[in-house]
Amino acid sequence: MTTAHSFTRHDITFPSGDSTCAGWLYLPTGVTSPPVVILGHGLGATREMRLDAFAERFAQAGIAAVAFTYRHFGDSGGHPRQLLSIKRQLADWDAALAYVKARPDVDRSRIAVWGSSFGGGHAITVASRHPELRAAVSQCPFTDGLASALALGPVASLRMTPVLARDMAARVRGKAPAMVPIASAPGSPALMNAPDALPGYQALQPAGTTFRNEVAARVIPTIATYRPGRAAKKVAMPILFCVSNTDSVTPPAQTLRYARTAPRGEIKRYDAGHFDFYTGETFETLVRDQIEFLTRQLRPAPASTP
């Protein structure tokens, strides 16, 4: 019977723009030059919020993993804090790729990207820009800002207008940002206010987490116009889309339309909510499917048989 690889986890930092990103590197023990997958999270989330769970499983399958936190969040650098910039986050992905390609202890010709939620949209964008990648995984992805804004509802969207105006003024004056909640109860102004959003985010936070449930409001217009799903048709390598059939945050119908345009796309659908993907039986099913996909594309060395 084949056994799982043991692994070691290392604290890492790498430069990005004017600051640094903090992360974890997972290396399968005793494997020379393993393939590697880079993991990035969703809206305002940090790597402590279950990216480690996925990375550990990938490492046990013989695939090295880098799980990182975007600048301006958690223990990564960047000021002001809680600034969610799509342009900067995509630059962080590029910086993570550059970091991996400079490491002599992984196979720089077998690299994949893995993103979840907002990071799932980034994974599509990054894969479309980096044809040298071997594979990509896009989990419960944010693919269309307009579709997500409609899911949020016009009333809730309008209620964020005053704080957006305050933050734009603060930006001009060089003052501290005005914040908007990432997740809140239904009917409350936030980036996500579906019934499962606030409890879903809270369930992902371990004790002592660096997560803060707020971001600078200036991101609101850029989220509404960000449509990473459009880049799916430009993704040359195999890409796995893991889609929630009941997703309250990233509507599945639009995601599926985009996913079907990827030339080498594979689609897996799950009868579980957006935030169920990270824990319990849904997580177990997802991570098995993702390991099967990544193993086919990256061909890691098998663990020894006792």
Question: pTM for this structure?
Answer: 0.95
CA distances to 97, 112, 125 from 132, in Å: 11, 9, 14
Residue 1 — pLDDT band, cuts 50, 70, 90?
very low
Whether the per-residue pLDDT at 305 is higher than 90: the answer is no
Residue 304 — pLDDT band, cuts 50, 70, 90?
low
In angstroms, rounded to a whole number, what is the distance separating the alpha carbons of residues 8 and 83? Answer: 32
CB 110 within 8 A of CB 299: yes
How much is the mean pLDDT over the chain? 93
Average pLDDT over residues 82-87: 96
Whether the per-residue pLDDT at 189 is higher than 80: the answer is yes
Residue 248: what pLDDT?
Answer: 87
What is the share, in percent, of the chain residues with pLDDT greater than 90? 78
Whether the per-residue pLDDT at 178 is higher than 80: the answer is yes
Residue 157: what pLDDT?
Answer: 59
Average pLDDT over residues 222-243: 96
Whether the per-residue pLDDT at 152 is higher than 70: the answer is no
Whether the per-residue pLDDT at 151 is higher than 80: the answer is no
Average pLDDT over residues 75-85: 96
| 265 or 163: which leads in pLDDT | 265
Residue 153 — pLDDT band, cuts 50, 70, 90?
low
What is the share, in percent, of the chain residues with pLDDT greater than 70? 95
Average pLDDT over residues 221-244: 96
Show the tokens assigned to 19.
């600051």
pLDDT tens for residues 6-51?
999 999 999 999 999 999 999 999 999 999 999 999 999 999 999 9
pLDDT tens for residues 127-141?
999 999 999 999 999
| 153 or 176: which leads in pLDDT | 176
Give me the CATH topology for the region 7-151+226-298.
Rossmann fold (3.40.50)
The full set of domain ranges for the chain reads: 7-151+226-298
In angstroms, rounded to a whole number, what is the distance separating the alpha carbons of residues 136 and 116? Answer: 11
DSSP the chain: -PPPPPEEEEEEEEEETTEEEEEEEEEETT-SS--EEEEE-STT--TTTTHHHHHHHHHHTT-EEEEE--TTSTTS--SSTT---HHHHHHHHHHHHHHHHT-TTS-TTSEEEEEETHHHHHHHHHHHH-TT-SEEEEES----HHHHHHHH-HHHHHTTHHHHHHHHHHHHHTPPPPEE-SB-STTSSSSB-STTHHHHHHHT--TT----S-EEGGGHHHHHH--GGGGGGG--S-EEEEEETT-SSS-HHHHHHHHTTSTTEEEEEESS-GGGGGSHHHHHHHHHHHHHHHHHHH-PPPPPP-
pLDDT tens for residues 245-300?
999 889 899 999 999 999 999 999 999 999 999 999 999 999 999 999 999 999 99
- The pairing of strands 215-216 and 179-180 is antiparallel
